[in-house]
Structure 1
Amino acid sequence: MRDETTADTFGMSGGGGIAEGYVMAGDAAALANAFGLVEDPDGNAIIHEVELAEPFTEGRAPVAAVAVDLMGSLATRERSAGRRVIDELLHV
């Protein structure tokens, strides 16, 4: 949510202390090695592996992907924001 446009879309702001991003399938291990990351369920970095490059051609995650990720959050605020945006996208 550090991107102003994304934050506005979801009615949220950054600063949660968690970094989250997307890489192509098979690239997560190389990224983890490059940055010295280790698997930790309580960690503050989340890497999603995706198999379709087309939605990410502009170097950013599609709004729908962010919304789906938020819908899986344990936090009510994030989950609600994701659900709201998905509903808006489906009813445009």
Structure 2
Amino acid sequence: MDFKKLSVFIIIAGLAIALIGGVYYGMNQPVMAKTIPDNAIPPGQYWDAFADNISRQGEARFENINRIRNRESAKQIIIVGVIVLIAGIVVLASAKKKGDGAS
């Protein structure tokens, strides 16, 4: 069995997993209340104008809670990718040692 090719495949798989986790982490950054559209409630004009800002802040808070949860999942994906990457490096190092001694 060619351990060098196997180790390269494992390293590439680890990098891909870590990259997917990084993209997922980047997509779930916190949002500001100003960027959330308020389509459900028409904008207030008189005594209820303050409610627009409050509802957007509440929506942003709930959205950010979900994004925090998603970022925690992304961190776990990145950790798994790094572990696979380290395993590939270990296999590569052991393949070099065995290849040098066997020749």
The TM-score range, normalised by the shorter chain, is under 0.3
Q: Which has the higher contact order (CA 8 A, sep 6+)?
A: 2
Which structure shows the higher strand fraction? 1
Which structure shows the higher helix fraction? 2
